[in-house]
Chain A
């Protein structure tokens, strides 16, 4: 009896594992992209350090941040001096300006929704609700690009990176001739191509062609769907 039950269990496990599809190059590439992204994030250091770096890269935010630190330094100075009185009204607007409620740095879709949801919930503000919908609809979407073919180096160029051959180099996925990269794109129509070994122009054979009336060199077209 016990032996039969075990056999049934083994049979169930065997059947559940049997229909697993064989790994395709695209599936392998996607896993490698995920691993590479994870490693990059770890190499970047702790999250707080990334946050500080991001803020320092944005000039306007650094100005606000410096102002905030200056105001804090002044306050600490007064405390140290033992003469902390009521807050100076002149400092209040400065503090208000520092709040990065609409920061333009590395804003994630989640950040957009988080920052706008309370505003949208205010009564009598239908336009803000509409803005929340627009914000969600226009939130960037991560798109994986894969190029298959022999190459020493491959770059992704397109309207999303101003056709810069240096902006988006692709990474070799394992030892095979598969090159991958991930890019955040806003929903809509995008045209792109691959530059192989710094000079060869290659379209994506898996996507429709985008005719080019200006330069006569078609690219590939991608319609990015909002989340």
Chain B
């Protein structure tokens, strides 16, 4: 048998992997650039979809302003799309986006160290139904590490359904301090919704359901069952 002799020069053999590496890098740069371009195009295309010049200018200014102050932009784009989907007038969309931007800014400041833009959006939703800024601040102060997205969502729903913001905020805070899980909070909100739809008074049904949840938590504590909630904050 004849020994196999490579016909490739040594330098060429070394170059092949380098060429492959270079091509792969070029491909990756292409993907990265395409991704970035697509992202910026999505942003501008949302506003470009608004036919009215004045409203479009106003929207652009609002979004740029929000961007410069660190307010999350996705909720603003979502609001524009919501207005378009609901066939609202451009002026009305522009006003709604301006108002949302203001709420997001307030919520962002109140929920300092917000864990995600979802949380800021949930805070803005709570503000819209009438939950006071001080309640957001209080919740963040007491729960600096827990995501407040779900508690704020439930709070928003309770207030939207007629429970007073003072009563709802106070009870939710007590429940959270007692170790309520997000799942239990959602369960409470859903039960209150159902009760109110069935004809109950918001204040009464909320009190009843909140007491029931407190009883469940007390039973869990007595039986030594731990919840998956973040433990209550330690107060000095």
Which of A71, A80, A211, A223 has the largest number of chain B CB atoms within 10 A?
Answer: A223
State whether A221 and B157 are in contact (beta carbons under 8 Å apart), knowing that A59-B31, A215-B86 are contacts in the complex. Answer: yes
Nearest 10 interchain pairs by C-beta = A77-B17, A189-B153, A59-B35, A66-B28, A70-B21, A214-B96, A225-B186, A188-B153, A163-B82, A163-B81
Nearest-neighbour CB distance to chain B for A184, whole angstroms, equals 14
Instruction: Tell me, in angstroms, the Cα distance from A163 to B13 when the chains sit together.
Output: 54
Specify which chain A residues have a CB less than 8 angstroms from the CB of B83 in the assembled complex: 214-215
14 further interface pairs, Cβ-Cβ under 8 Å (given A67-B25, A162-B74, A223-B189): A60-B32, A60-B35, A63-B28, A73-B21, A80-B13, A134-B147, A137-B150, A137-B183, A165-B85, A187-B149, A187-B186, A188-B118, A214-B88, A227-B183
Instruction: Tell me, in angstroms, the Cα distance from A62 to B16 when the chains sit together.
Output: 21
Specify which chain B residues have a CB less than 8 angstroms from the CB of A162 in the assembled complex: 74, 77-78, 81
A32 is an interface residue with CB less than 8 A from chain B: no
Instruction: Tell me, in angstroms, the Cα distance from A164 to B42 when the chains sit together.
Output: 12
Specify which chain A residues have a CB less than 8 angstroms from the CB of B34 in the assembled complex: 59
A201 is an interface residue with CB less than 8 A from chain B: yes
Q: Are B18 and A136 in contact (CB under 8 A)?
A: no
Q: Are B24 and A223 in contact (CB under 8 A)?
A: no
Instruction: Tell me, in angstroms, the Cα distance from A34 to B83 when the chains sit together.
Output: 33
Instruction: Tell me, in angstroms, the Cα distance from A210 to B157 when the chains sit together.
Output: 9
Q: Are A70 and B193 in contact (CB under 8 A)?
A: no
Nearest-neighbour CB distance to chain B for A86, whole angstroms, equals 18
Instruction: Tell me, in angstroms, the Cα distance from A164 to B45 when the chains sit together.
Output: 13
Within 8 A of A (CB), among B23-55: 24-25, 27-29, 31-32, 34-36
Q: Are A195 and B149 in contact (CB under 8 A)?
A: no
State whether A70 and B20 are in contact (beta carbons under 8 Å apart), knowing that A137-B181, A188-B122 are contacts in the complex. Answer: yes
Specify which chain A residues have a CB less than 8 angstroms from the CB of B147 in the assembled complex: 134, 137-138
Nearest-neighbour CB distance to chain A for B45, whole angstroms, equals 12
Q: Are B190 and A67 in contact (CB under 8 A)?
A: no
The count of chain A contact residues (Cβ–Cβ below 8 Å) is 52
Q: Are B88 and A56 in contact (CB under 8 A)?
A: no
Instruction: Tell me, in angstroms, the Cα distance from A27 to B189 when the chains sit together.
Output: 25
Which residue of the partner chain, among A127, A188, A213, contacts B128 with CB atoms under 8 Å? A213
B67 is an interface residue with CB less than 8 A from chain A: no
A6 is an interface residue with CB less than 8 A from chain B: no
Specify which chain A residues have a CB less than 8 angstroms from the CB of B31 in the assembled complex: 56, 59, 62-63
Specify which chain A residues have a CB less than 8 angstroms from the CB of B35 in the assembled complex: 58-60
Within 8 A of A (CB), among B103-141: 115, 118, 122, 125, 128
Q: Are A130 and B161 in contact (CB under 8 A)?
A: no
A69 is an interface residue with CB less than 8 A from chain B: yes
State whether A76 and B17 are in contact (beta carbons under 8 Å apart), knowing that A189-B154, A223-B157, A226-B183 are contacts in the complex. Answer: yes
Which residue of the partner chain, among A69, A134, A213, A225, contacts B183 with CB atoms under 8 Å? A225
Specify which chain A residues have a CB less than 8 angstroms from the CB of B36 in the assembled complex: 59
Which of A71, A127, A138, A195 has the largest number of chain B CB atoms within 10 A?
Answer: A138
State whether A163 and B85 are in contact (beta carbons under 8 Å apart), knowing that A138-B149, A225-B183 are contacts in the complex. Answer: yes
Q: Are A208 and B13 in contact (CB under 8 A)?
A: no
